[in-house]
């Protein structure tokens, strides 16, 4: 494969970097066709001026013409959080719920908010009850192609039930503390 | 560069991301009172402790009281560490709070610190008190929490709780019993009951300076609890130099 710019170059690929056996153009360089091997010795250091055929001399250049693009392994959508709250449901209504929001960075005071049930995903709706814990993140999603989308994600925490032995253990610990602190 | 207050100076420092969730009072002659707690976003240390340490105050001798006025997460963040750091200091909380039911409740939730931060803070406080063989002091209406008689030229100082009233304590005990988790019910965060019946209002007198620290005490149409039940108006009528601080 040849590219024609101000000079002629041949595309070479880094043999170690392939995707499913195919050359990946995210890590490739351009080099003159006459200088295919060894690849490593050419990359980032020299180029061959193929128009000057009478005198094939390697020339030092201040900057390599080989452009290395960063290899991106992202294959799924990524989420970058800008702000995150821990929320607790205080009261439920027909179409919304009242909650207390705690800034996870600790930079702003606790706030109360009403959140519409339409903001909640179907699988989380059944978890909404007084005391239910959720996390609310505002940020942006980055798709594998690099597209950024501003988004708000609310996820409710899934918790197990109180086991009888846990409560029995708590009572035992409490009795010890009550005696120690003189609480009757 | 922070500088400590003068020996005879009364200094009030208000910390917090919102309304002043933590108040620190220098009542003169190297005596300090910490009321509630909040965390510094940068250092993650309790703000009062961070400030006192920065000006070289010895925590175990100079801090006389650590008061938890009410059980709201934003006012007790870091209070466990504060009580731990002030190892000889008297810990004060509302009379309606540290009941037998509440201690069992704390121990149940304290085993799951990620669930409820407020309860977890109280669990740390209880452990610290147990370890250092201290017993908490319970605040209720008209109870004197700390007193300095003023020998050697020091101005007298008296710190009095103006709430909770007896009926409020009774209501709080009923509320707390209902919070205790039942077997085989889903674990959830604790939602602090409303209205807040047992907030501790502090009346602080140093010489002729008075401070009214309003806490989160709520108004109620029932004169047996809330602001209507305490002697705030009476106290205010007696004093001419009075600073009122309310926070929620």
Tell me the residues of B at the A interface, defined by beta carbons under 8 Å apart: 16-19, 21, 39, 41, 44, 73-74, 98-100, 103-108, 111, 115, 117, 126, 129-130, 135-136, 181-191
Decide if pLDDT at B174 tops 60: yes
Verdict on whether the full-model pTM lies above 0.80: no
Question: What distances in angstroms separate CA B96 from CA B127, B140, B181, one per listed residue?
Answer: 19, 8, 19
Contacts 24+ apart (CB under 8 A), A104-108: A105/B41, A106/B17, A106/B39, A106/B41, A106/B44, A107/B17, A107/B41, A108/B17, A108/B18
Cα angle B212-B192-A81, degrees, rounded to a multiple of 5:
100
Across residues B136-153, what is the average pLDDT?
Answer: 88
Coil vs helix vs strand at A138: strand
Residues in chain A predicted with pLDDT less than 70, given as ranges, are 1-62, 70-73
Q: Count CB pairs under 8 A between chains A and B.
A: 104
A182 contacts on B by Cβ (under 8 Å): 135
**Of the spans A32-36, B36-40, B228-232, which averages the highest pLDDT?**
B36-40
Decide if pLDDT at B201 tops 50: yes
Contact A7, A51 (CB under 8 A): yes
Q: Percent of chain A beyond pLDDT 90?
A: 38
Query: Mean pLDDT, chain A, as a whole number?
Result: 75
What confidence score (pLDDT) does residue A154 get? Answer: 96
Cα angle A6-A7-A12, degrees, rounded to a multiple of 5:
125
> Model confidence over A18-54: pLDDT tens digits?
444 444 444 444 444 444 444 444 444 444 444 555 4
| pLDDT-based confidence at residue B97 (cuts at 50, 70, 90) | confident
Map tokens 């109360």 to a residue. A112
What confidence score (pLDDT) does residue A42 get? Answer: 44
Tokens of B188: 């959830």
Closest CA to B141 of B199, B213, B211: B199
Tell me the DSSP string of A69-129.
PPP----S-EEEEEEEEEEEEEEE-SSEEEEEEEETTS-S--EEEEEEGGGS-HHHHTT-S
Map tokens 């390599």 to a residue. A64
Distance from CA of B18 to the nearest CA of A (A): 5
What confidence score (pLDDT) does residue A45 get? Answer: 41
> Does A177 sit within 8 Å of B187, measured CB to CB?
no
Q: Percent of chain B beyond pLDDT 70?
A: 89
Of residues A120 and B220, more confidence is placed in A120
Tokens of A155: 């996820």
What confidence score (pLDDT) does residue A27 get? Answer: 41
Map tokens 């020299």 to a residue. A46
């Amino acid at each position: 494969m040849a590219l024609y710019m101000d000079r002629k170059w041949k595309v070479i690929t880094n043999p170690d970097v392939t995707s499913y056996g195919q050359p990946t153009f995210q890590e490739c360089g351009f080099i003159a066709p006459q200088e295919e091997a060894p690849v490593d010795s050419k990359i980032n250091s020299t180029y061959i001026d193929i128009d000057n055929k009478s005198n094939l001399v390697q020339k030092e250049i201040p900057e390599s013409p080989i452009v290395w693009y960063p290899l991106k392994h992202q294959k799924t959508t990524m989420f970058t959080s800008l702000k995150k709250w821990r929320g607790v449901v205080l009261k439920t209504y027909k179409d919304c719920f009242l909650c207390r929001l705690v800034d996870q960075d600790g930079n702003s005071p606790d706030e109360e908010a009403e959140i519409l049930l339409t903001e909640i995903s179907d699988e989380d709706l059944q978890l909404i009850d007084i005391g239910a814990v959720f996390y609310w993140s505002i940020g942006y999603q980055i798709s594998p192609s690099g597209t950024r989308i501003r988004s708000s994600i609310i996820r409710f925490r899934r918790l197990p039930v109180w086991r009888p032995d846990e409560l029995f253990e708590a009572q035992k610990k409490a009795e010890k503390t009550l005696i120690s602190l003189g609480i009757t | 560069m922070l500088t400590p207050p003068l020996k005879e100076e009364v200094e009030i420092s208000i910390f917090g991301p919102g309304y002043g969730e933590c108040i620190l009072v220098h009542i003169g002659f190297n005596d300090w009172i910490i009321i509630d707690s909040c965390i510094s976003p940068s250092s993650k240390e309790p703000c009062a402790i961070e400030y006192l340490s920065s000006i070289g105050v010895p925590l175990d001798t100079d801090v006389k009281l650590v008061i938890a006025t009410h059980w709201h997460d934003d006012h007790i963040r870091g209070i466990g560490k504060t009580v731990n750091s002030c190892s000889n200091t008297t810990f004060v909380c509302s009379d309606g709070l540290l009941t037998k039911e509440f201690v069992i409740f704390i121990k149940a939730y304290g085993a799951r610190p990620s669930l409820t931060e407020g309860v977890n803070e109280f669990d740390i406080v209880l452990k610290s008190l147990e370890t250092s063989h201290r017993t908490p002091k319970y605040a209720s209406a008209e109870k004197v929490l700390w007193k300095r008689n003023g020998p050697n030229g020091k101005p007298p100082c008296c710190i009095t709780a103006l709430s909770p009233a007896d009926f409020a304590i009774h209501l709080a005990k009923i509320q707390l019993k209902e919070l205790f988790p039942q077997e085989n019910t889903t674990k959830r965060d604790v939602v602090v009951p409303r209205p807040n019946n047992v907030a501790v209002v502090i009346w602080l007198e140093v010489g002729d300076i008075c401070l009214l620290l309003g806490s989160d005490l709520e108004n109620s149409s029932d004169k047996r609890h809330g602001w209507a039940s305490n002697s705030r108006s009476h106290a205010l009528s007696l004093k001419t130099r009075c600073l009122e601080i309310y926070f929620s």
